[in-house]
């Protein structure tokens, strides 16, 4: 979680009791004193270390240090599941409890209980639970899963299994038993919330233990843990090469990417709607240094090749892509939520350890990835993408990857899953997350998936929040509860940028937010969620002179047999401008629209760009976006 996001998050914690009042469906008083839980036998592998009444949470935040958050009264239960899995269950006292369980996930390598993440649930009246996943330590330290030659960590293999698969399940089962014991009734509903590593943990639950939760909210999936950590190592190798790029060049790189990709969704607004549709090539799209002499306003040949490799992803010697690279739009240092100084993926001269992705990836490979594990003295420059990559996949991937696309058991158990990710995520990247949803669709079919699984891909959002995107995970959790408990299918929700200065709809895939051609582009009310349908677009003239109020005529031709017959035209929009005149040709194959060049917003002269046109059509309450692009020159 980035610092700016933490500021907002921690401040919000103090207001949650008022903001998130949850109706008491069947409130219950405790049927035994809190301290009496110390005397209960929960099994030979469970040790209850403490059970005490509290009305605040003391936690450590890496940015703020020790913090204290006032809470409603609760019974704080702490203990260990053998061999070393620490857990914490917080039980609201009396009628505060809403008869529900709220389990939280972890970050990176875990090593501690995510108490800050438990606070929102506790404030809303949930019994909340968390685990350290079976080891204690720094969240960037993977050595918990490594047993040195002196056998000083004999439980390493079991700790890794606990971290990868068992800990959330075992904590959840135990938490339900503790709840039943304390309140003399089981929770009516159980929910899981997690992002990043927590996202992988949530998917593992849906895949392996489908009956643990009624609802699961996951974000920024690290479900392919092995591939993501090896990609981090790959970026570390690039940091050692001649193409290392200084951080001061990030604004130049980010501006070039935005200039190429921002207009693809029909609105130049500092957001890349879907980076997979952008064809930016750093080798030809960045300013070249004269005589290849490095400078602050240019990139050398080696730097352009390195940046291209970062976007492309690691390949083996046969040229086969092993896993996707970074997303276009993820390269900028987030000006709204600056963070603690970690640069997500940029390769600094002098080494890889300024990059969070590289640091985490190298550590994972050396301690838990390779078999046998090389340990603390590993020279990661020896990594071989032909032989070591499959080694890590067979070892770490087989244990920790949560990439099974068959969620039919979770669906059959009545579970609901909401999954969100940021298109500008610079840490884990959005590509694998997006591909997982498509794999589930291909495996189970659209009808089944739509009944229990919703994906929200948020333009501009960074890792688990922040960035320049507009998001609201509280709204998504509320939607999950409504889906589970009242059968209300999730739809679009309003998200807010981290600085509070912009709102946008968050749309369930495959819908996207499209501007209606009127109103502020910083107001969600100026947008609608629509499913895009591809069209061929021809713009005349092919050169647009912004200094003149010339008419621009656009011809849109439908593809794949789609007909506009029966559809009403709500609006035709191009680059933020509403068409002055629209004709829907009776054949149902064409729409012709006329625009005034002077109405186009946020477009600058000086080169070629993708001129995107969106025709928003409506029929029987449903909306689609007939959409396509043509390359034009702007002067």
Residue 259 has pLDDT above 80, yes or no: yes
The angle subtended at Cα 608 by Cα 603 and Cα 613, nearest 5°, is 60
Query: How high is the pLDDT of residue 538?
Result: 97
Instruction: Taking residues 20-47, report their average pLDDT.
Output: 76
Instruction: Taking residues 214-235, report their average pLDDT.
Output: 96
Residue pair 403/224 in contact by the 8 Å Cβ criterion: yes
- The pLDDT-based confidence of 58 (bands split at 50, 70, 90) is confident
Q: Residue 572: in which H helix or E strand, if any?
A: strand 568-574
Residue 457 has pLDDT above 50, yes or no: yes
Closest C-alpha among 313, 325, 348, 373 to residue 236: 348
C-alpha separations of 495 from 338, 457, 506, 507 in Å: 20, 12, 6, 10
DSSP state of 500: S
Residue 250 has pLDDT above 90, yes or no: no
Residue 416 has pLDDT above 70, yes or no: yes
> Which pTM was predicted?
0.93
What is the per-residue pLDDT across 530-577, written as a single tens digit (0 to 9) for each?
999 999 999 999 998 887 767 899 999 998 789 999 999 999 999 899
Tokens standing for 569? Answer: 């035209």
Q: Count how many residues are written for the chain.
A: 635
Query: How far apart are the C-alpha atoms of 219 and 455, rounded to whole Å?
Result: 10
What is the per-residue pLDDT across 610-631, written as a single tens digit (0 to 9) for each?
899 999 999 999 999 999 999 9
Residue that has been written with the tokens 């957001």 in this structure:
271
Query: How high is the pLDDT of residue 5?
Result: 41
Query: How far apart are the C-alpha atoms of 466 and 3, rounded to whole Å?
Result: 9
- Helix axes 356-364 and 225-239, enclosed angle (nearest 10): 120
Tokens standing for 484? Answer: 């589970």
3-state secondary structure (DSSP) of residue 370: coil
Question: Prior bond to 83 cis, omega within 30?
Answer: yes
- The pLDDT-based confidence of 220 (bands split at 50, 70, 90) is very high
Mean pLDDT over each residue of the chain, to the nearest integer: 90
What is the Rg, in whole angstroms, of the alpha carbon atoms belonging to the chain?
26
Residue-range domain boundaries for the chain: 1-180, 227-399, 512-634
Residue 136 has pLDDT above 60, yes or no: yes
C-alpha separations of 466 from 429, 498, 526 in Å: 14, 6, 22
Question: Residue 353, Cβ neighbours under 10 Å: how many?
Answer: 12
Residue pair 74/106 in contact by the 8 Å Cβ criterion: no
Q: Which residues contact 408 (CB under 8 A, 6 or more apart)?
A: 444, 448
Query: How far apart are the C-alpha atoms of 482 and 500, rounded to whole Å?
Result: 26
Find residue 182's DSSP bridge partners: none
Query: How high is the pLDDT of residue 18?
Result: 35
- Rounded to the nearest 10°, the torsion over CA 114, 115, 117, 122 is 140
3-state secondary structure (DSSP) of residue 171: helix
C-alpha separations of 195 from 110, 203, 219 in Å: 12, 10, 4
Query: How high is the pLDDT of residue 625?
Result: 96
Task: Say if strands 46-61 and 551-558 run parallel, antiparallel, or are unpaired.
Answer: unpaired
Q: Which residues contact 459 (CB under 8 A, 6 or more apart)?
A: 265, 271, 272, 273, 274, 329, 423, 424, 469, 504, 513
Alpha helix stretches (DSSP H) within 244-328: 250-261, 282-285, 301-312
Residue 15 has pLDDT above 50, yes or no: no
Least confident of 17-31, 176-190, 271-285, 291-305: 17-31
Tokens standing for 452? Answer: 């229990």
Query: How far apart are the C-alpha atoms of 572 and 535, rounded to whole Å?
Result: 13
Sign of CA dihedral 418, 419, 422, 426: positive
- The pLDDT-based confidence of 488 (bands split at 50, 70, 90) is very high
3-state secondary structure (DSSP) of residue 251: helix
Instruction: Taking residues 151-169, report their average pLDDT.
Output: 97
Residue 26 has pLDDT above 60, yes or no: no
Residue pair 7/340 in contact by the 8 Å Cβ criterion: no
Give the residue with greater pLDDT, 333 vs 120.
Answer: 120
Q: Which residues contact 377 (CB under 8 A, 6 or more apart)?
A: none
Query: How far apart are the C-alpha atoms of 211 and 335, rounded to whole Å?
Result: 42
Q: Residue 90: in which H helix or E strand, if any?
A: strand 85-92
Residue 83 CA, distance from chain mean position: 32
Question: Residue 622, Cβ neighbours under 10 Å: how many?
Answer: 10
Query: How high is the pLDDT of residue 63?
Result: 66
What is the per-residue pLDDT across 84-117, written as a single tens digit (0 to 9) for each?
999 999 999 988 999 999 999 999 999 999 999 9
Residue 606 has pLDDT above 90, yes or no: no
Instruction: Taking residues 506-514, report their average pLDDT.
Output: 97
Q: Is 445 left (phi over 0), alpha (psi -120 to 50) or beta?
A: left
Residue 524 has pLDDT above 70, yes or no: yes
- Rounded to the nearest 10°, the torsion over CA 284, 285, 291, 293 is -130
Question: Residue 520, Cβ neighbours under 10 Å: how many?
Answer: 10
Query: How high is the pLDDT of residue 358?
Result: 87
3-state secondary structure (DSSP) of residue 467: strand
For 512-634, CATH number out of 3.30.390, 2.60.40, 1.20.120, 3.40.1130 equals 2.60.40
Instruction: Taking residues 28-41, report their average pLDDT.
Output: 88
Tokens standing for 562? Answer: 């789609």
């Amino acid at each position: 979680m980035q610092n700016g996001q933490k500021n907002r998050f921690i401040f919000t914690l103090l207001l949650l009791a008022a903001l998130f009042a949850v109706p008491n469906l069947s409130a219950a008083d405790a049927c035994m004193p809190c301290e009496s839980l110390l005397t209960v036998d929960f099994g030979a592998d469970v040790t209850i270390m403490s059970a005490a009444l509290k009305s605040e949470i003391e936690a450590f935040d890496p940015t703020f240090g020790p913090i204290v958050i006032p809470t409603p009264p609760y019974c704080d239960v702490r203990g260990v599941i053998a061999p070393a899995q620490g857990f914490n269950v917080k039980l609201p006292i009396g009628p505060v409890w809403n008869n529900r369980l709220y389990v939280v996930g972890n970050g990176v390598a875990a090593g501690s209980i995510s108490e800050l993440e438990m606070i929102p649930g506790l404030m809303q009246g949930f019994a909340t639970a968390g685990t350290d996943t079976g080891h204690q330590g720094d969240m960037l330290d993977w050595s918990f899963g490594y047993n040195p030659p002196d056998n000083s960590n004999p439980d390493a293999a079991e700790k890794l299994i606990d971290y990868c698969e068992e800990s959330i399940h075992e904590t959840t089962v135990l938490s339900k038993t503790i709840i039943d014991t304390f309140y003399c009734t089981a929770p009516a509903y159980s929910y899981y919330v997690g992002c990043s590593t927590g996202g992988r943990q949530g998917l593992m639950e849906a895949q392996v233990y489908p009956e643990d939760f009624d609802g699961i909210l996951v974000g920024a999936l690290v479900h392919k843990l092995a591939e993501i950590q090896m990609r981090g190592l790959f970026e570390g190798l690039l940091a050692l090469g001649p193409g290392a790029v200084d951080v001061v060049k990030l604004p130049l790189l980010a501006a070039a990417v935005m200039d190429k990709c921002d207009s693809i969704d029909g609105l130049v607004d500092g957001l890349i709607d879907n980076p997979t549709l952008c064809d930016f090539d750093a080798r030809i799209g960045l300013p070249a240094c004269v005589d290849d002499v490095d400078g602050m306003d240019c990139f050398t040949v080696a730097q352009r090749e390195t940046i291209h490799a970062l976007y492309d992803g690691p390949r083996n010697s046969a040229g086969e892509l092993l896993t996707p690279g970074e997303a276009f739009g993820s390269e900028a240092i987030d000006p709204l939520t600056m963070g603690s100084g970690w640069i997500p993926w940029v390769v600094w001269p002098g080494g890889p350890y300024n990059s969070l992705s590289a640091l985490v990836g190298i550590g994972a490979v050396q301690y838990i990835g390779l078999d046998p594990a090389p340990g603390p003295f590993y020279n990661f420059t020896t990594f071989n993408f032909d032989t070591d990559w499959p080694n890590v996949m067979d070892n770490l991937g087989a244990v920790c990857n949560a990439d099974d696309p068959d969620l039919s058991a979770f669906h059959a158990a009545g579970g609901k899953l909401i999954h969100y990710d940021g298109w500008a995520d610079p840490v884990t990247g959005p590509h694998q997350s997006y591909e997982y949803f498509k794999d589930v669709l291909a495996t189970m079919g659209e009808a089944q998936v739509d009944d229990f699984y919703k994906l929200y891909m948020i333009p501009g959002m960074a890792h688990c929040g922040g960035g320049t995107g507009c998001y609201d995970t509280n709204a998504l959790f509320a939607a999950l509860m409504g889906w589970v408990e009242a059968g209300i299918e999730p739809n679009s929700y309003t998200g807010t940028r981290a600085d509070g200065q912009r709102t946008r709809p968050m749309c369930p895939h495959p819908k996207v937010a499209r501007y209606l051609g009127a109103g502020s582009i910083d107001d969600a009310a100026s947008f609608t969620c629509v499913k895009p349908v591809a069209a061929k677009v021809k713009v005349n003239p092919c050169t647009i002179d912004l200094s003149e109020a010339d008419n621009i005529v656009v011809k849109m031709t439908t593809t794949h047999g789609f007909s506009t017959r029966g559809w009403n035209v709500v609006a035709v929009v191009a680059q933020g401008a509403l068409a002055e005149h629209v004709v829907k040709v009776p054949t149902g194959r064409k729409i012709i629209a006329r625009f005034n060049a002077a109405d186009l917003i946020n477009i600058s002269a000086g080169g070629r760009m993708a001129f995107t046109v969106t025709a928003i059509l409506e029929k029987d309450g449903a909306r689609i976006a007939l959409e396509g692009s043509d390359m034009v020159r702007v002067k």
